[in-house]
Structure 1
Amino acid sequence: MSALPPAPPEGLAPGGRFHAWRPSPGGTAAVFLDVDGTTLDTEPYASGAVVEAAQRASRAGVAVGFATGRLPRGLDVVRGQLASAAHGRAAGGPGPVDVVHNGAAVVRDGRVLQRWPLPRGAAHDLVRWCVREGVYAELYSGPRMFVTDRRPEAQVGWAEVSGEPDGDATELLVGASARLEVDKATLDVFEVHRTAEVTAALVGLGLHVEDSTAPFLPGVPVLNATAPGVTKGSALRWWARSSGTPLERVVAVGDGQNDLSMLTAVGTGVAMGQAAAPVREAAHLVSGPVDADGAATVLTLLADGRL
């Protein structure tokens, strides 16, 4: 019979899979943080508590990375906050790894280490369907973003995350741009009653679909569409294999349905306090909510060697 798990570290509560959790004997090597709803609340900047705790964890030898649905440039602000002496790297060494595009790419210092794009035919059919049906979508190709329309309500996301679009999505259907690979599509379903219809259309195109949320778009369903089998969890598994890092020594922190795959892939999955019940049930541990700096609690425990 296996030993019972220890008590949760101070500041954390048991999650649904707490019974299966054991601290890694080798200590934590890396932590991957979701961004929206985990690292960030409604502001585009991380709180001082999160920044300080992340820097402390890095100085303690824990690599601090992000796992997000955002495109790479959507991390510029928070990465800039965390960039300081000794953050996430040895002197002169490489920076930390980030999972972007909801698992469709793994990047380091702006360089793509691996990517898993959408099938080109499915990406083109998605553009045609969204334009025909009047559904807003953002399609990401590496650092570039193409949009199906420029409605005002979508522009808050441009201001908060991505910056201005690089072009219209229909450009992906013609000329040289038709050869671009699309890493991920994000559909903000402003017509909420159409969520099931939009989800069915994405599934019908053979894409993997996961729900997400954006604090700056309250009440708006956000659907991430990636290639089949591509998730944050699959990207973390690839990184672990390629880097030789045991997943048992990895912590993941998130709050949304699109975080389930990484919370269940790693040795320690931590749900944010405001996460829905299925996310808390999938996690080993539960921290405080984002508006109480729950991510800082996790990072502080890592910095002190208590998680």
Structure 2
Amino acid sequence: MLGLVGVDVDGTLVGTDNRVREDVWAAIERGRAAGMHFAICTGRPAVGNALEYARRLDPDGWHVFQNGASIVHARTGESLSAAFPEEALPGLLNMAHERGWLLELYTDTDMAVTQPGDVARRHADLLGIPYRPQPPEALEGTVVRVQWVVPREDEGTVTATPHPGLDLHPAGSPVMRDVMFISVTRAGVNKGSALGRIAQRYGFGMDRVMMVGDGENDVTALRAVGHPVAMGNADAPAREAARYQVGHVDQGGLIGAVDLALGL
């Protein structure tokens, strides 16, 4: 039997109505009753809705947030997070101000934004946290990740802009279709590396790990595991990296992934 299932949030666990179907939760409970661990594996930070999803998915387990930059235990809050290169921040902040792009800075549990406004407010609503924008200079604690939030037409410009020593992880949300979220982490830090660290904690080889996702930022995890699964609504890069495909998120596709995991 598989030991661990990594579950993306937007477009995998959460549908276009920003909700999780109750039959999806029931399927996850069947998997946990059979002895499997489940881990949130998301670009979202470990606050608000994402943290609540993690606690319901596996309340005494490890979870991946911020595209691998945050690895947090749901019950204890213990962190295995990787710090963002401090020397890279001034250049990114200058770029945000010069080009008018929204840049978000994250610690494990807090965030700051370069441009308060409608997009930042809508993103806070999506994350399930109060909209209390603070400037980067007011952010306390260790920055683990930054994120560009830009109109979809600007995605190519952002990803083509050099980010030396850093990795970019583009992803969309079915709830905020007009923007792209381009997460930026220390080079080598991604969902795949973080899921590997969790599997090691549990004592599993990656041949006993499944990842279920739908976006480009899931590809590193899909390629790292023994059983990669793409949602029916997945982007082309995720489909190409997967061995299996299940239904659309709004049709409960994750149920098919859990059933598959139970049968392996």
TM-score normalised over the length of structure 2:
0.91
Off by >6 Å, runs of 4+ in structure 1: none
Say whether 1:97 aligns with 2:72.
no
1:233 aligned to 189, 192, 197, which one?
Answer: 192
Residue of structure 2 in register with 1:115 after alignment:
81
Select 1:184's aligned residue among 142, 145, 160.
145
Contact 1:144 1:165 in 2 (8 A): no
1:194 and 2:147 matched: no
Structure 2 letter corresponding to 1:101: Q
User: 1:212 aligns to what?
Assistant: 171
Counterpart of 2:71 in structure 1 is: 106
Measured in 2, the distance between the counterparts of 1:306 and 1:122 equals 46
CA distance in 1, matches of 2:101, 2:166: 17
Q: Note the alpha carbon deviations across 1:118-170, whole angstroms, 9 max, x for none.
A: 10011232123212321112111110011111121331110121512462124
Separation (CA, whole Å) in 2 of partners of 1:126 and 1:165: 22
- Aligned residue for 1:275, secondary structure, equals coil
Equivalences for residues 1-307 of structure 1 within 5 A? 27-73=1-47, 74-79=49-54, 82=56, 88=58, 95-109=60-74, 111-163=77-129, 164-165=131-132, 167-172=134-139, 177=140, 180-190=141-151, 192-201=152-161, 203-302=162-261, 305-307=262-264
Secondary structure of the residue aligned to 2:115 is coil
Give the whole-Å Cα distance in 2 for the aligned partners of 1:128 and 1:47.
Answer: 42
Give the gaps of 5 or more residues in structure 1: 1-26, 90-94
CA deviations 1:82-122 (Å, max 9, x no partner) are 37xxxx46xxxxx1211011011211125233111210011
RMSD across aligned positions (CA): 1.9
Cα pair distance change 1:97/1:48, threshold 3 Å: same
Go from structure 1 to structure 2 and tell me whether the alpha carbon gap of 1:166 and 1:98 turns closer, same or farther (over 3 Å shift).
farther
Instruction: Show CA shifts across 1:11-64 (max 9, x none).
Output: xxxxxxxxxxxxxxxx11111100000000123331011111111111111111
TM-superposed deviation, 1:241: 2.7
- Counterpart Cα distance in 2 of 1:231 and 1:76: 19
- Partner Cα distance (1:239, 1:218) in 2: 31
Contact map agreement 2:191 2:218 (CA 8 A) in 1 = yes
Counting aligned pairs with the same residue, the percent is: 31
| Residue type at the aligned position of 2:103 | A
